[in-house]
Amino acid sequence: MTKPILPGEVAAAVVDPVAYGTWDGLHQQLAWARANAPLAVAENPDHDPFWLVTRHADVMAIGRDPQRFANAVRPTVLTNRDGEALARAATPGNDGHLIRSLVQMDAPDHMKYRLLTQSWFMPKNLKQVEDRIRQIARETVDKLLATGGECDFARDVAAHYPLHVVMDILGVPPEDEPRMLMLTQQLFGSTDPDLNRSREAITSAEQAIAMLHYVIADFENYFRELTADRRANPRQDIATVIANATIDGGQIPDRELAGYYMIIATAGHDTTSASTAGAIMELAKNPALFERFRAADSDKAGLIEEAIRWTTPVQHFMRTARADVEIGGQQIREGDWLMLNYVSANRDEAVFGDAFAFDPDRAKNQQIAFGFGAHVCLGQHLARMEMRIMMEELLPRLKKLELAGEPARVESVFVGGLKRLPIRFEAA
């Protein structure tokens, strides 16, 4: 069976940060792929070829089969050829993972590490932190209202709230949050000249790796001190759980320890802030929807689920085939690299009626923004809870909400969403 090859413009769009920033054109390319070549190879000059997986059903099938579709073998986030070679040269055992967190692990390590904190992130346990999160949400809303009627919701509000929550839960004190925010944006938004460390366009893989090394070293130094402190003075936070956990009877090795903190510290805020800002953008555009959801007793669940589908903050993850396997009618070979494109899967017309409409009343919203299978987002219940609490605290305190300018999206192939959302509002 010969491999289907994607047209050059589709292949180019899915690796282009600017396409994710402009968004509409990217959706046209992805819709074409879903209809004509849902599982086909993207060939680009700077990247190794990879299968672009655009259908919801295929993303699910791959997620549910971690034995054959692995995370540890090759980069889990799209990396160009030079970048992967440099990362391999710069990592222990040439494994190419600058960070070794849950995301870069396969069985048996993955589940051992995941189980250390999994119960902490379950809804039952999260009830214990609900009051604290509500307090953070109220303080955030107070600050928003104090801006006097106009602000950039993405920058001034959404960027801070999930960060406060995740740092509070992790055990990072408020005075260190700006450093964490900057480092996360540098880690994830490193292709966006507005967000990366040098504030310049990154033009070479060497530059990108050098910048990431700085960012990771900063994180590691910080968490080394936190670990020492929590081993000496345990508290009720996740840092204490991680610092004192044992794996196979010993302490967690330094690299995995830093990776664990980093994934919790970073995975939870740009993502949740993107979907929170996405919800506010749609409410600001649609007065009837805003009126409905600002009623204190309105059920916010549908709004939240749809905002997560609509924004799809994590735009892709990569997998590598460990064996020959047939999927979606295509023959995948051992060693092949695959891009699970969540942006596409969340607009799949076969699953979502009127996929390009924002509809909080979808009967059964099967959004796949949190992934699927063994690696499904550890923080998904926390993310939903944070968004619900923010909507409950914010919307009833507003009388009017509208856009005050053009929103802008992050230029990144990995974690995306709004970097600018100018709004105008009146307090209730």
Q: What is the 3-state composition of the chain as percent helix, strand, coil, each rounded to the nearest 5?
A: 50, 15, 35
> Is 191 an interacting residue with respect to ligand HEM (CB under 6 A)?
no
Among 7, 49, 373, 396, binds ligand HEM (CB under 6 A): 373
Q: Which helix (H) or strand (E) holds 321?
A: strand 316-321
The span of 140-148, 251-259, 260-268, 293-301 binding ligand HEM (CB under 6 A) equals 260-268
CA–CA separation, 245 vs 145, rounded Å?
A: 42
CA–CA separation, 143 vs 153, rounded Å?
A: 11
> Is 378 an interacting residue with respect to ligand HEM (CB under 6 A)?
yes
Query: Which single residue brings its beta carbon nearest to ligand HEM?
Result: 379
Distances, alpha carbon 101 to alpha carbons 76, 224, 281, 370, in Å: 11, 16, 33, 17
Other C-beta atoms closer than 10 Å to the C-beta of 285 total 14
Token match 């607009």: residue? 347
Other C-beta atoms closer than 10 Å to the C-beta of 324 total 12
> Is 372 an interacting residue with respect to ligand HEM (CB under 6 A)?
yes
Other C-beta atoms closer than 10 Å to the C-beta of 85 total 15
Whether 171 and 230 have beta carbons less than 8 Å apart is answered as: yes
Q: Which helix (H) or strand (E) holds 49?
A: strand 47-53
> Is 102 an interacting residue with respect to ligand HEM (CB under 6 A)?
yes
CB 372 to ligand HEM: min, Å: 5
Nearer to ligand HEM, 79 or 275 (CB): 275
CB 103 to ligand HEM: min, Å: 4
Among 18, 61, 289, 377, binds ligand HEM (CB under 6 A): 377
Q: Which helix (H) or strand (E) holds 319?
A: strand 316-321
Site for ligand HEM in 38-57 (CB under 6 A): none
CB 101 to ligand HEM: min, Å: 7
* Cis peptide bond upstream of 108, omega within 30: yes
CB 252 to ligand HEM: min, Å: 15
The span of 39-47, 310-318, 322-330, 405-413 binding ligand HEM (CB under 6 A) equals 310-318
Enumerate residues 6+ apart whose C-beta is below 8 A from 250. Answer: none
CA–CA separation, 394 vs 35, rounded Å?
A: 40
Among 38, 371, 407, 416, binds ligand HEM (CB under 6 A): 371
Among 114, 134, 138, 292, binds ligand HEM (CB under 6 A): 114
The span of 246-254, 271-279, 329-337, 406-414 binding ligand HEM (CB under 6 A) equals 271-279
Among 75, 96, 259, 379, binds ligand HEM (CB under 6 A): 379
Nearer to ligand HEM, 141 or 339 (CB): 339
Nearer to ligand HEM, 52 or 264 (CB): 264
Among 137, 159, 281, 314, binds ligand HEM (CB under 6 A): 314
> Is 267 an interacting residue with respect to ligand HEM (CB under 6 A)?
yes
In b/e form, how buried is each residue of 198-208, taking b as 16+ CB within 10 angstroms? eeeebeebebb
| Closest C-alpha to 394, from 156, 215, 71 | 156
> Is 370 an interacting residue with respect to ligand HEM (CB under 6 A)?
yes
> Is 383 an interacting residue with respect to ligand HEM (CB under 6 A)?
yes
Nearer to ligand HEM, 355 or 377 (CB): 377
Footprint on this chain of ligand HEM (rule: CB under 6 A): 63, 102-103, 114, 166, 263-264, 267-268, 271-272, 275, 308, 313-314, 317, 369-373, 375-379, 382-383
